[in-house]
């Protein structure tokens, strides 16, 4: 049979180990919550950035025509030698 003092010591050590594990898990949980907050913030910023990019693209389209419509047929003809009929 194990003496009472040694049994309590083993139980006490086990309880201390469990407390340390619980403390470690609580710290890990806090860190995971911080990471979650950062991920959520990044997602909100990404969404805002995407909306801003779309808005800038729309504004650019209003002030700058599409690439295929920059030159008139007359302007293109003058670059190739002057006579649009010869194209």
Q: Which residues span the domain enclosing 23?
A: 10-47
Is 63 a domain residue? no
Is 87 a domain residue? no
Half-sphere exposure of 46 (CA within 13 A, CB side): 6
Is 54 a domain residue? no
Asked whether the predicted pLDDT for residue 71 surpasses 70, the reply is no
The pLDDT-based confidence of 34 (bands split at 50, 70, 90) is very high
Look at the pTM and tell me if it is higher than 0.75.
no
Is 64 a domain residue? no
- Spacing of C-alpha 73 from chain mean position: 46
26 φ/ψ angles, rounded to the nearest 5 degrees: -65, -40
Cβ count within 10 A of residue 62? 8
Asked whether the predicted pLDDT for residue 65 surpasses 90, the reply is no
How many domains does the chain divide into? 1
Is 37 a domain residue? yes
The pLDDT of residue 52 is: 97
Is 14 a domain residue? yes
Handedness of CA 67, 68, 71, 77 (dihedral sign): positive
Is 24 a domain residue? yes
Is 76 a domain residue? no
């Amino acid at each position: 049979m194990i003496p009472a003092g040694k049994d309590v010591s083993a139980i006490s050590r086990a309880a201390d180990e469990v407390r340390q594990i619980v403390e470690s898990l609580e710290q890990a949980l806090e860190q995971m919550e911080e990471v979650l907050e950062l991920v959520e913030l990044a997602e909100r910023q990404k969404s805002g950035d995407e909306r801003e990019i779309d808005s800038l693209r729309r504004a650019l389209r209003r002030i700058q025509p599409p690439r295929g419509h920059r030159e008139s047929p007359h302007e293109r003809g003058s670059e190739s030698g002057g006579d649009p009929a010869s194209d």
